[in-house]
Each structure stands twice: as C-alpha cells, then as structure tokens.
Structure 1
Amino acid sequence: MAEFVDNYSDLKELGIDCDDNELDEKFNRAADYLPKLVSNLDNDTLLTLYAYYKQGKEGVCGTPKPSWFDFKGRSKWEAWKKLENMPQENAKALYINTIEKIDPDFHSQKVKQKETWVCVSTLQGETNLVDADKTVVDLVKENNREGVLSLLKREKYELNTLDENGLALIHWASDVGSVDILSDLLSYGADINSRDSEGQTALHYAASCGHIDCVRFLLSNGALIGIEDNDGLTAIDVANDEDIKHLFSTSV
C-alpha cells in the first residue's frame, strides 16, 4: 500500500531523473495506466493515488471540505489536503513511483484508457468474484446491465431494501451513473425517492457524483428535488457541477 511522505525527496531519490517535459509525459502515462490496476487496489492506495494526482495537476488543495455525509468526497478531500504544500513535481514523481511499485512493467505496456476518478462503488475494495457468486448489488456496482436484468428476471429481490452499506440498488445505480440500470430498476418497481441510511435519495447521489444524465433522467421520472437528507441537505445543495445546478434551477 502506498504511503504519504512528510519530506519531499529529490526526484532522483525516487528514481525519476528527468526534465519537466519528461516528468509530465511519465505522469500522464501513469495516470492513463491506472484503470488497468484499479480492480486490484485497496481503498487507501486509491486515495493516495488520487491525492498525488490532484496535487500534481492542481497543486495545494484549496477546495472547501465536503459535508460529513458525503463520505466519498470527504475521503478524497482529506487525502489531498494531507499533502499540504508538497510541490507539484514531487507529487507527480510519487504518483509515478507508486504506479511503478504496483506494476514494475507498466512502462512496457500499451495504454489506451484515460485516467478517471471513481465514485464510492469502486472505493469499496471489492475482491474479484466469479460471475456465479455475484449478487445483484455486485452487478449494479459493475454497471453490468445484462447481468442485473438476468438476476432480476430469475430471482425475487426487494428492490428498496438497504444493504450492509445502507444503500438500495437505485443508489448504487446513481453512484455509477447508469441511466439504463436506473430505468430497469424503476420498471421493476424501485422507489425513485427511496432514502438510504443517511436520508439521501438517488438524486443526491447523481448530483454529488456529477452524473448529469442520471439527474436529468431522475427528474423526468418524478424524483423529488426538495427531499432533505439527515443533515438537512437537498440534492441541489450537494451538487458541485454548474450544469447540474443550472438543470435544477430550471426544474424548480
């Protein structure tokens, strides 16, 4: 597992001996390679990589701390904030160094995917399961629409029951940003305004994760904007994306 450091070593000590252009090129290649590794990484390593990436790209964390209920956003913010004044070039070097330690052969691999950060569904630290052992929750978190439909057709499932994480299927579908699965769940009787253990609806999840297509779909299918979670916040309050905020403003 990657660890944070308190002293900012010279790049040569990290095995990164290159000029700024070369460092940026290696940093971008490492970021592009991350999706190939995500399924095998634990939460702490993912958060550490996220922090190095944000520090390398944007510098010192200057964004407001997310509210306590937004556990995924809060965890990412705290990981980034912990780096304090670490220079961007050091964060980039540490990011590269961490990817190299996870997969020493990454420089020899061809990379086709782009790095993206993930919502709580990927931060769960899932172990790899064979398809036969996967539950409908696993399949929703994988955005596996075909698998979800297959299970729903074969087995009776209480769609509005909260799992051990305090979420119903509709919350997971919003978290991963799947309009198709949301549509399927509603057709099978899921409550569009179902609340999780923190009082959040699917609309809260879609808004806080920046999934504008899900927000649009939920609103068009009767999702209530004014529902407050246990902290008194509505989906409008937790939206960070300006386009989503505008969408809400035209729907009120």
Structure 2
Amino acid sequence: MDDPLEEQFTSAYTFLNNHPEINLSNEIKLKLYGYYKVVTTGKVDTAKPSLWEIRARAKWDAWKEIENTPTEEAMQMYVEIVEKANVGWNRDQLDDIAIEDETKEKNKENTQQERMKYVSTMSYEEEEDDDDENDIFSCTKKGDTAAVNKILDSGEIDVNAKDDQGLTLLHWASDRGYLEIVKLLIEKGADVNILSDEEKETPLHYSCISEHLDCARYLYHHGANSLIKNSEDLIAFDYCDAQFKEEVIKE
C-alpha cells in the first residue's frame, strides 16, 4: 500500500475491529460509519430505512449527511477521529499495530468480515416499545386498534399530540402499516398533513418510505398533500418507485 493516508485509514479501522472491547460513544460510531461508507462506497446507494429501523436509519442518516465528502478527506477525518478518541491507536505506530493479532491476518475473508462488523453496527439495541397498556403510543406501535380507540374515547388524549421523538400517532401507524389505526385516527380528527419535528415529514412520507401501499392510498385519498417537502427537500413519492405511486393515486 503506497498511499500513506490510505495505510493510516486501513490501520485505524483494523485496530478498532481487532479491539471490540473499546467503548466509543454512539455519536463517534456513527461518524466513523459515515466516513467509512464514503471511503468504501461513495454516495448513499440505498433507500432510507423506515422509522422503526432505528439503527439502520441512524446509520443511513450519518452517511447521507456527509456523502459528498471527497474520499481523501473522509479518510483523513476517520483517522483523526480514531486518533483523538485516545483508544491506543495513532498514525505513528502503524507497523506495531498491523501485526498485533496475527490470527486475524491468516484468513483474509474472515478479517474483512471482522472489519465490517465494527463499523456497521451500533452499540445500542432498538428501543423496546413501552408495555404500558394505557400508553397510546405503545398501543399504536403494537397495532392494538381497540386499545387506541378506547384511550381516544376517554377524551384525555390529543389525537395530534407528539411523543418525545416529535412524532404523532398517525406517523407511527403509517410507518408500521396499521391501516385500521390510520383510519381510526383520521376519523378522530388526526391532521393528515402534520409534520414530524425533526425531519418535517408527513405521515404519507412514512408510509411511502416503509412501502405500506394501503396506508399510503388511504392517506392520499383522505387529504394527504403529496407535494409537501421534508427537510431534505423531498416529497413522499420521492421515496417510492413509479408503480407504487401509480397504485397510490389511482381511483
């Protein structure tokens, strides 16, 4: 390997994968993942994961945010992040670190898989839904239409209220494909065009991202404005193919 920067980059991510005990914050892991993908793949080439795919969505966002970074700059940023993390690696010790674990070098295919393992996983698991049967957001995420209806009928819940992620019940139901709950929420006065706090997306955005055709059709034919753009300047139909869109809009 003739390029010193490429050698440093390779050494840095090899070191991390050879030391799984290293504890880095999720913020740092996401940054490393984003720069790694820019170096090895380039621009984002996959569809945006749905809302409930928390880890995949976080990684996709981290990559998307920096996808236009030049390759050399991405390698440099990766190297600097690892070095500043004070995990025992620096660019002046490449030779010693490269031979630290000879067993991993004996099988190139397995070594590559180990390298990928660290930078493509997060240290946290997907959040578990709240099991509280009186929590309307928990009931919505689980698809419990009867429980959602009962809570709404109590009159104690605003159908357009948002949770700590800035999402409404209609966002969650649309993302998970619970058509009956989508219908119920709209009947109860849910704002079909309400925006999520962070990404400024409508429930139609979420149903298109998750490819829930029935929900997308119902939303569209009950007032969803398909021209609303999110924070990335994309409309809901930018997240689906032409055939899906045709099925949504047809009478």
The residue correspondences of 1:85-164 to structure 2 (distance < 5 A) are 123=126, 125-126=127-128, 129-131=131-133, 134-164=134-164
Aligned to 1:200: 201
- Residue 178 of structure 1 deviates from its aligned partner by 0.7
1:92-146, Cα deviation, whole Å (9 max, x unpaired): xx9xxxxxxxxxxxxxxxxxxxxxxxxxxx94x1265343xx4111110111111
Structure 1 length as normaliser, TM-score?
0.52
Contact 2:143 2:178 in 1 (8 A): yes
Distance between the aligned counterparts of 2:200 and 2:49, measured in 1?
Answer: 13
- Residue 233 of structure 1 deviates from its aligned partner by 1.1
1:55-103, Cα deviation, whole Å (9 max, x unpaired): xxxxx999615579989554354899xxxxx969x69xx9xxxxxxxxx
Q: Give SS of 1:64's match.
A: coil
Distance between the aligned counterparts of 2:146 and 2:184, measured in 1?
Answer: 10
The residue correspondences of 1:15-26 to structure 2 (distance < 5 A) are none
The residue correspondences of 1:206-245 to structure 2 (distance < 5 A) are 206-237=207-238, 239-241=239-241, 243-245=243-245
Residues 1:87 and 1:226: Cα distance change in structure 2 (over 3 Å)? farther
Please tell me whether Structure 1 or Structure 2 has the larger radius of gyration of its CA atoms.
2
Q: Among 67, 70, 75, which residue is 2:58 paired with?
A: 75
Aligned-partner residue type, residue 75 of structure 1: A
Distance between the aligned counterparts of 1:199 and 1:164, measured in 2?
Answer: 15
- Residue 155 of structure 1 deviates from its aligned partner by 3.4
Output the aligned Cα RMSD. Answer: 4.6
Q: Give SS of 1:147's match.
A: helix
Distance between the aligned counterparts of 2:173 and 2:50, measured in 1?
Answer: 19
Distance between the aligned counterparts of 1:148 and 1:231, measured in 2?
Answer: 32
Aligned to 2:185: 185
Task: Compare 136-145 and 63-72 and name the one that shifted more.
Answer: 63-72
Gaps (5+ residues) in structure 1? 8-43, 45-59, 81-85, 95-121
Structure 2 length as normaliser, TM-score?
0.52
Distance between the aligned counterparts of 2:209 and 2:58, measured in 1?
Answer: 14
Residues 1:169 and 1:87: Cα distance change in structure 2 (over 3 Å)? farther
Distance between the aligned counterparts of 2:185 and 2:152, measured in 1?
Answer: 9
Aligned to 1:64: 45
- Residue 207 of structure 1 deviates from its aligned partner by 0.3
Identity among equivalent positions (%) equals 28
Residues 1:66 and 1:127: Cα distance change in structure 2 (over 3 Å)? closer
Q: Aligned residues, how many?
A: 175
Gaps (5+ residues) in structure 2? 1-12, 16-25, 27-40, 64-107, 118-124
